[in-house]
């Protein structure tokens, strides 16, 4: 099983709609979770961290479900500028206590006018 | 503030050639990272430097070497390039190696090895 799995999409969504992505992770010891956004041929940028209680930033809501080991991202009232690839990122222990961030392959979202 | 800068932006090498990818950050961050991104694979950690003077292997270190030249600069060297090293390489930095810290990425280097 992959450490972090995402539906690659593409998700083609009309402007103004609500869209949600899920991401599953394999290591139950993971403690930190993030969503990064990556525009075409650009670098990834942090969109938001995901907290146990869930968190909201404007039109974006992130949720964590530890029991089922998945995180979700909900985008409301989608804008054309939301078109991007969304990367699910989870910390993962390795090498004698070191930790690293594990990146999912991304979910591609296109907002249609 | 330029953030994280990388040079070059594009590079084409022949198999067996060597090159060094340069990375610099002006955010006074302690930790720096090198990733590669391949289609369908996600970003994978090559090497990281928790602080000036230290470097450690990541998930896919074979075929690469790194140097943390000072707090600002972290270079990645390919001694003998192979076609399997064709990829997009991203440098990143963060305040500390604690994984909860936000990582800031450079614009990437697109490398093709023929």
Contact B42 A101 (CB under 8 A): no
State the smallest CA–CA distance between residue A76 and chain B in angstroms: 24
Reference B32, options B64, B73, B61; nearest CA is B73
pLDDT of residue B68: 96
Q: Using CB atoms, which residue from A49, A91, A105 is nearest to B41?
A: A105
Q: Which two tokens stand for residue A56?
A: 């909201």
Interface test with B, best of A35, A64, A100, A107 (most B CBs within 10 A): A100
pLDDT tens for B54-87 read 999 988 999 999 999 999 999 999 999 999 999 9
pLDDT tens for B45-60 read 999 998 898 999 988 9
Position A64 confidence tier, pLDDT thresholds 50, 70, 90: very high
Contact B100 A105 (CB under 8 A): no
Q: Give the residue-averaged pLDDT of B81-107.
A: 88
CA–CA separation, B82 vs B86, rounded Å?
8
Which residue from B minimizes the CA distance to A37?
Answer: B105
One DSSP character per residue, chain A reads --SEEE----EEEETT--EEEEEEES-TT---EEEEEE-TTS-EEEEEEE-TT-EEETTEEEEEETTTTEEEEEE-S--GGG-EEEEEEEEEEETTTEEEEEE---EEEEEE-
């Amino acid at each position: 099983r992959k450490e972090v799995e995402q539906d690659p999409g593409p998700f083609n969504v009309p402007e103004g709609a609500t869209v949600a992505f899920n991401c599953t992770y394999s290591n139950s010891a993971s403690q930190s979770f993030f969503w990064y956004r990556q525009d075409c041929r650009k670098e990834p940028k942090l969109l938001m961290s995901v907290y146990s209680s869930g968190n909201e930033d404007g039109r974006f809501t992130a949720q964590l479900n530890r029991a089922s080991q998945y995180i979700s991202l909900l985008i409301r009232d989608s804008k054309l500028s939301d078109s991007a690839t969304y990367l699910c990122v989870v910390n993962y222990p390795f090498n004698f206590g070191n930790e690293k961030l594990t990146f999912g392959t991304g979910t591609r979202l296109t907002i249609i006018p | 503030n330029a953030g994280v800068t990388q040079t070059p932006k594009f590079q084409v090498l022949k198999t067996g050639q060597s090159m060094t990818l340069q990375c610099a950050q002006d955010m006074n961050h302690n930790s720096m990272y090198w990733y590669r991104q391949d289609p369908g694979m996600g970003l994978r950690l090559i090497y990281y430097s928790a602080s000036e003077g230290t470097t450690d292997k990541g998930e896919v270190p074979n075929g690469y070497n790194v140097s943390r030249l000072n707090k600002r600069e972290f270079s990645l060297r390919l001694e003998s390039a192979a076609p399997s090293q064709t990829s997009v390489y991203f440098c990143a930095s963060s305040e500390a190696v604690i994984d909860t810290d936000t990582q800031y990425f450079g614009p990437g280097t697109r490398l093709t090895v023929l």
